[in-house]
Structure 1
Amino acid sequence: MNVMFFGRKSKLAPSIRDEEINDTMPTLGSEMNFRNGRYVYYARGGDYCKGMNHYLWSFLCGIGEAMYLNRTFVMDLSLCLSGTYCSSNKDEEGKDFRFYFDFEHLKETASVVGEGEFLRDWKQWDKGHKRKSAGEEAKYIHRPWHAIWKSKRLMNVVTEISGRMDWDFDAQHVVRGEKARNKHLWPHLDSDTSPDTILTKVKEMVQPWRNLYVATNESFYNYFDNLRSHYKVHLLDDYKELWSGTSEWYNETTMVNNGKPVEFDGYMRVAVDTDVLYRSKIRVETFYNLTKDCKDGINTCRIGFFL
């Protein structure tokens, strides 16, 4: 048995049994199975408490390495959510991977085992067998993005919202927040996403009195009120009962979290907003339809991207 380490050591999130969604951690079985195994151990590194895209880029590098080398991937289900997604505006540790991603699909795609069980057996084994991943191997590793799906619990919320609009709706994506305040990189974004400007642009693209879902990071609920005179407007917060204390999502995530309530955090909001947006008939995009500012700041637009 030998082990390749990827990152640094971290704590183990509790494992639970869920009869509806099979996202419990696979086990190694006997000590002999452990000794005969070959592993890639993924643990905390430079991606810890960074944005979710940063985390996934690093995480999928580890998964890809394990697949390439035909090894079992050792993972910690506990992650740190960047403060940009948290109501506290502070990084929050102890978030469960299964809150955000479909672990059942991941373990069907790749061979994985939990860090806790691995470390228990590892203590009985010669630590001299471990080694770091060689740089040459990284050239041949492809990140298996197909292994990462959004959590089924979040997708159930997406399905419920879409169903309440009879699966017949249009949508607009309105990016504001910090980008709208940064006049250096996005000089026109604030004004181009003002309520009156949004209404003018949407009226050019969407028929009146359609169901219009607004996916946005704008925190002021009434910001889009002028649209209500022309459309049946829907915002994510109109569906709060889907993650309230009496919801199926609340009960299931509480069970995953060892009986402790789970916040419907900023990343979950983005995940649900995005997938409802993708299910719309017509999409009005911020960095295509509403503004000529570039998505990644000034001078980053692709040639021909804007009409």
Structure 2
Amino acid sequence: MAIHKTQKLKQKPRSPILILIASISCIAILYIASSFISTKGLFFFTNPTTLNNIKSKKIFNNQESYYHKYLYWGNRVDCPGKHCDTCAGLGHQESSLRCALEEAMFLQRTFVMPSTMCLNPIHNNKGILHKTSNSSLEERPKASSCAMDSLYDLEFISNTVPVILDNSKMWHQVLATSMKLGSRGVAHVQGVSRVDLKEKDSYSSILLINRTASPLAWFAECKDRNNRSSIMLPYSFLPSMATKKLRAAADKVKALLGDYDAIHVRRGDILKTRKDRFGVERSLHPHIDRDTRPEFILCRIAKWVPRGRTLFIASNERKEGFFSPLAKRYKLAYSSNYSRIIDPVIENNYQLFMLERLILMGAKTYIKTYKEEDNDLSLTDDPKKNTKVWQIPVYTMDTKEC
């Protein structure tokens, strides 16, 4: 069988205009590629999965540099005292976490968040106001920690401050890349102001800043807030960032409560007293025991909450029936009234408190124990901040009987 050769066609000369367009396109592609592999660009261009993860995240104020650099404060929120065998309560740890997130915002860096939250054993015992209907839940051994993403919606937080967990693939990629970059990869800093971290080239160009935070508590880094140029997050930020299942459960409870008011009554741990050298009892919060008793609460909130309203109460008070006197004026409600909704989604008292906070924040009138912001309504005028001044407790009423 004969094989016929295909006759070659003579190529026509290419148009100069087409050649010019092709050249410009090639230059543009090379420029874009170089920006991705730059030490100031996306370090994971060779990893399609990482690149897709980055693209899927929302960028705060279109600051793409958030995804170029990282800030690490350690593998656990807070380490109070000289040893790390314990931790503070949720509110205390949130103050520290908020401090670290503020610094990440200020530096325009992605924050590397600890993958677990330490559970303080004292604060992880359910209060008497929430008696679970599931006895096995009460008998379950208390865990020493819980997953951070079981408390907070990290994607929700990342809309404001981009975060990754310290057990994620992306974090391991950051560590691997930092080692390859040598001196430009990681800077271990201690006692350096956030302004210097942002403005000095020796820090600002580094991929990863490893801040050695205060050995006592992270929030110590934010104590002098008035004299630091930083972006502040409100107290309500982290409470509003609860996981979707906690927010969904809170929404169901709020729907059943209807039009309601709420109070948060912190007692228990805050009522600590000690005797001076003369045997006299003293407290760091001299009015708190009085101000959180039912008879004083009735007087305090009368001007804010009309008679007959539904009043949701969240408290760590363990004495059963302690708030019953309030029932003579209000319809009282507790989280225990909604156990069928709440119990399936909570595994520890931190989650319960976070869910209760969402309910408190949804009230028409929300009265806190302490003022946290200037416009807050509070049960007491004592400052929340520890003044370290031990005073004699006051129990007498300084207002007329209601």
Given that 2:286 and 2:382 are in contact with CA atoms closer than 8 Å, whether structure 1 keeps it comes out as: yes
Instruction: Name the CA shift for 1:144/1:99 in 2 (closer, same or farther; >3 Å).
Output: farther
1:269 alignment counterpart: 352
Bigger radius of gyration: 2
Quick one: structure 1 residues 154 and 122, their matched pair in 2 at CA, closer, same or farther if it must change by over 3 Å? same
Query: 2: distance between equivalents of 1:180 and 1:113?
Result: 38
Tell me whether 1:160 sits opposite 2:214 in the alignment. no
Query: Which residue pairs with 1:179 in the alignment?
Result: 270
2:96 paired with 1:50: no
Instruction: Measure, in 2, the Cα distance between the counterparts of 1:289 and 1:121.
Output: 45
Which residue number corresponds to residue 126 of structure 1?
Answer: 180
1:141-220 → structure 2 map (5 Å cutoff): 142-143=230-231, 145=233, 148=238, 149-151=240-242, 152-166=244-258, 168-182=259-273, 183-203=282-302, 205-220=304-319
Shift of 1:143: 5.0
CA distance in structure 1 between the partners assigned to 2:116 and 2:379 by the alignment? 38
Letter paired with 2:305: V
Provide structure 2 residue ranges, at least 5 long, that are not aligned to the other structure: 1-37, 41-47, 53-66, 80-86, 128-140, 199-228, 274-281, 371-376, 391-397
Give the drift of 1:225. 1.6
SS at match of 1:215: strand
Does the 8 A contact of 2:77 with 2:114 survive in 1?
no
Question: Is 1:28 aligned with 2:50?
Answer: yes
**Matched-pair contact (CA < 8 Å) for 2:105–2:231:** no
Q: Does 1:82 find its partner at 2:117?
A: no
Decide whether aligned partners of structure 1 residues 281 and 98 sit closer, same or farther in structure 2, where only a CA change above 3 A counts. same
Could you say what secondary structure the match of 1:222 adopts? coil
CA deviation vs aligned residue, 1:21-63 (integer Å, no higher than 9, x gap): xxxxx96259xxxxx9543344326714334455445444554
Q: Does 1:99 align with 2:120?
A: no
Amino acid at match of 1:132: H
Corresponding residue SS for 1:275? helix
Q: Does the residue aligned with 2:159 lie in a helix, a strand or coil?
A: helix
Query: Normalising by the residue count of structure 2, what TM-score does the alignment of the two structures yield?
Result: 0.51
CA distance in 2, matches of 1:292, 1:112: 36
**In 2, Cα distance between equivalents of 1:68 and 1:295:** 26
TM-score between both structures, scaled by the size of structure 1: 0.65
Provide closer, same or farther for how the CA distance between residues 291 and 244 of structure 1 changes in structure 2, counting only shifts above 3 A. Answer: closer
Number of residue equivalences: 258
**Which of 49, 62, 71 is 1:40 aligned to?**
71
List aligned pairs for 1:282-297, cutoff 5 A.
282-287=365-370, 290-296=379-385
Cα distance between partner residues in 2 of 1:294 and 1:104: 34
Counterparts of 1:71 and 1:189, CA distance in 2: 40
Aligned pairs for 1:208-287 (under 5 A) are 208-245=307-344, 250=345, 263-265=347-349, 267-287=350-370
